[in-house]
Chain A
């Protein structure tokens, strides 16, 4: 069996034309074991049999589920998805508006307004990667009874990319061209081969607003559209009332395009409070069905869970808490700029020092004693979706080995116990934002480092300053005027392309780009740059995944970046509620499938 044939088979499985079992049998005939066959399938974008993209939906009729109460400790303020800033507004508008497709928890696409997910087999994705054709469902009605069609999709494209409207979604539409093929088919065209084509019209940036209500507000007056606060969409729930910053209510839409959905007759999203009281309202008192984004220590969650009313949902995404070891010198000023790209860090330029630092991070304890379930330790920077996770990296905590390494590299202990070599002392400034778990992590690493003869000075900055893009402030993470820093970086899509650009040489954060560059650690590597360029145009998913894994190995292997723990999404729901959640899309991405088990 040659490679092409193998690919053909795997695609058939992915599209549901062939069962996984049949595939495994065929592979066994060629001497490939079942686990190996499953592994092969994941490379083709097919999830293992145990984890279906979307859990089964049990209710057999529409409505009859009563009232659904959702709690958001940050409330939504507007409902037009093209103006949505932050996840709360994206979530609230997602209740009424739908995209062509959404991202499931395993990082695969689920068709919503599209009749099917485009692929090379169904001629949706062009072989040369220059266009993707979406076929729309034909039975979709807006909440006011109008028919949904390709004209609406085209309108959303023009609306989103219109600079007069200045929508938050414009980035996904600016560089593509969209044409209407027929009333229920649209084609998105790209300038160059694009392996990651599922951006426009997909997920949070792809929510559809109706042309017939917005066409008179598709210019500078866009913010005045009455529908901005009284949305008309295609979703399973339609609008009832909205008090910005407080309460949003909806009711089941009788003409919804998918049968037996939704389950609940009415629903509400209540805003306000804080994360701990939100967790309490679900887990302890059972006043609400679901509470969003619980940034609460795991110990607290566990004690609330012990009440037995609800449970904590932990959904894996790509967010990761990690340490950066500055590649440049933060204490030397060149052209009025510290951490200038022309400098080298006096200590971290020695690979032995970087490796020692990685050995001194006790990830397992940080997981066990600080983050708990909300932060699994990881050796990789790129962890998800699973097909992009490198098997090559390991994590080890060993003060002895760190000491050995430093001894061998000639860093000798001075009278005060601090190692030095050629006048460079191993004394580092380690900064992060103010957040209790981060300060605990800092202390754990500081103590281990002291035992290896490295002195670490801790610094914590208020989060609103640390994560700001204020050019005048020296304490921002983008400037990185410290030897080490730690924070969480998020992965916005189920594809790593926008995530892994954090280490390409042309993204270096510096004065010239007002420190907006994504490469904050200022590490540069030709092989990494080449791999990234190759991945941008690589259409073969297996080769592309291999390129991203190589990039992960390069940056993590350099030890300029030390991954600590993954940060999954944490929420709470009552025991009998069956929410469908995903780390790659907004919380409300499949609200139509939520139901209550009775």
Chain B
């Protein structure tokens, strides 16, 4: 009986679909991302319209997520803040993955002294405390960047580069370990015997096979970056106080927790859902991309 031909990606998709939670999470995450991207086009209430007559109101038709203590619409602020929180998450993830893959592949293919040095560097970075360093970097470079690209973008670049710059180490280790095992495999031997150069070996043969774990690690990095940005905003650092990122919304809401719970509940829920769904999607991807695993 002729079997239907299945591409590797098709096979991955088949395996991913079997992880029910991952599929549900992917749906929820897509809804959040779509809402954040398209929401402001539909929900056209300004994020900073102060109206004292409706302050601290619970959810209603006029304000589906209620209002804060200045009567500003929380739905509009959540949608706007979500863009920033998610953008920070994805951008920081990209930085971490690119850096990690670069360091990991160089170490993995070069081995010897270069490998020892790069792993030593990785260990060094792993031992640096993230939050104090972030504070230091913000303190040192904020004003310079602010004058160059403006306050909002300046802080964005800082946070993304610092969070990204401190998350590449696990990725680098993963990639290096994959390289060590893959470069001894028969298909790599064969390619080398056919005269493939080292860059071609890496880019065409080893790297694509090493990417599975990287994608999984990347999803977790997104979640970590969103939480790091929330932490910074919660500490009152990070973005200027008038930019309602999810962490900032939580920070503003904390003093009114007992009589305006909706104010803290929705941004908290958004952070929770995003991070949770990303983690589940990562879990599903691990199942889908690991060929040794039988699903």
Q: How far is the CA of A484 from the CA of B55 in the complex (A)?
A: 27
Task: Report yes or no: A442 in contact with B255, Cβ–Cβ below 8 A.
Answer: no
Task: Report yes or no: B48 in contact with A443, Cβ–Cβ below 8 A.
Answer: yes
B243-266 toward A: CB 8 Å interface, digit per residue (1/0)?
000000000100110010000000
Task: Report yes or no: B259 in contact with A443, Cβ–Cβ below 8 A.
Answer: no
Task: Report yes or no: A446 in contact with B242, Cβ–Cβ below 8 A.
Answer: yes
Task: Report yes or no: A439 in contact with B252, Cβ–Cβ below 8 A.
Answer: yes
Residues 432-450 of A at the B interface (beta carbon under 8 Å): 434, 436, 439-440, 442-444, 446-447
**Residue A457 interfacial (CB < 8 Å):** yes
Q: How far is the CA of A368 from the CA of B52 in the complex (A)?
A: 9
Majority SS at the chain B contact face:
loop
Residues 80-95 of B at the A interface (beta carbon under 8 Å): none
- Residues in B whose Cβ lies below 8 Å from that of A369: 52, 55, 69-70
Task: Report yes or no: A447 in contact with B241, Cβ–Cβ below 8 A.
Answer: no
Task: Report yes or no: B143 in contact with A474, Cβ–Cβ below 8 A.
Answer: yes
- Residues in A whose Cβ lies below 8 Å from that of B143: 474
**Residue B151 interfacial (CB < 8 Å):** yes
Q: How far is the CA of A344 from the CA of B143 in the complex (A)?
A: 21
Q: Which residue of A lies closest to B71 (CB)?
A: A369
Q: How far is the CA of A301 from the CA of B166 in the complex (A)?
A: 43
Q: How far is the CA of A300 from the CA of B56 in the complex (A)?
A: 13
Q: A442-B241, A443-B70, A443-B241 are in contact. Are A436 and B252 (CB under 8 A)?
A: yes
Q: How far is the CA of A297 from the CA of B254 in the complex (A)?
A: 12
Task: Report yes or no: A443 in contact with B255, Cβ–Cβ below 8 A.
Answer: no
Q: A297-B255, A442-B242 are in contact. Are A434 and B236 (CB under 8 A)?
A: yes
- Residues in B whose Cβ lies below 8 Å from that of A300: 255
Q: A303-B259, A434-B236, A458-B242 are in contact. Are A447 and B48 (CB under 8 A)?
A: yes
A contact residues, total (Cβ < 8 Å): 24
Q: A443-B48, A443-B241 are in contact. Are A457 and B55 (CB under 8 A)?
A: no
B24-66 toward A: CB 8 Å interface, digit per residue (1/0)?
0000000000000000000000001110100100000000000
Q: Which residue of B lies closest to A463 (CB)?
A: B236
Q: How far is the CA of A457 from the CA of B151 in the complex (A)?
A: 8
Name A444's contact: one of B70, B241, B255 (CB within 8 Å). Answer: B70
Q: A303-B259, A436-B255 are in contact. Are A365 and B240 (CB under 8 A)?
A: no
Name B50's contact: one of A443, A458, A475 (CB within 8 Å). Answer: A443
- Residues in B whose Cβ lies below 8 Å from that of A299: 256, 259
User: Closest approach, in angstroms, between the C-beta of B165 and any C-beta of chain A?
Assistant: 23
Q: Which residue of A lies closest to B253 (CB)?
A: A436
Residues 2-27 of A at the B interface (beta carbon under 8 Å): none
Q: Which residue of A lies closest to B52 (CB)?
A: A369
Q: A303-B259, A368-B52, A443-B50 are in contact. Are A460 and B236 (CB under 8 A)?
A: yes
Task: Report yes or no: B241 in contact with A460, Cβ–Cβ below 8 A.
Answer: yes
User: Closest approach, in angstroms, between the C-beta of A468 and any C-beta of chain B?
Assistant: 13
Task: Report yes or no: B252 in contact with A444, Cβ–Cβ below 8 A.
Answer: no
Q: Which residue of A lies closest to B151 (CB)?
A: A457
- Residues in B whose Cβ lies below 8 Å from that of A459: 151, 240-241
Q: How far is the CA of A444 from the CA of B70 in the complex (A)?
A: 8
- Residues in A whose Cβ lies below 8 Å from that of B256: 297, 299
Task: Report yes or no: B241 in contact with A439, Cβ–Cβ below 8 A.
Answer: yes
Q: A368-B52, A369-B52, A462-B236 are in contact. Are A440 and B69 (CB under 8 A)?
A: yes
User: Closest approach, in angstroms, between the C-beta of B33 and any C-beta of chain A?
Assistant: 28
- Residues in A whose Cβ lies below 8 Å from that of B55: 369
Q: How far is the CA of A368 from the CA of B70 in the complex (A)?
A: 11
Q: How far is the CA of A458 from the CA of B236 in the complex (A)?
A: 12
Q: How far is the CA of A365 from the CA of B55 in the complex (A)?
A: 12
- Residues in B whose Cβ lies below 8 Å from that of A440: 69-70
A369-413 toward B: CB 8 Å interface, digit per residue (1/0)?
110000000000000000000000000000000000000000000
Interface pairs (28), CB distance under 8 Å: A297-B255, A299-B259, A300-B255, A303-B259, A365-B52, A368-B52, A369-B69, A369-B70, A370-B69, A434-B236, A436-B252, A439-B241, A443-B242, A444-B50, A444-B70, A446-B48, A446-B242, A447-B49, A457-B151, A457-B240, A458-B240, A459-B151, A459-B241, A460-B236, A460-B240, A462-B236, A462-B237, A475-B139
Q: Which 10 A-B pairs have the closest CB atoms?
A: A434-B236, A439-B241, A458-B242, A460-B241, A458-B240, A458-B241, A447-B50, A369-B52, A436-B255, A457-B151
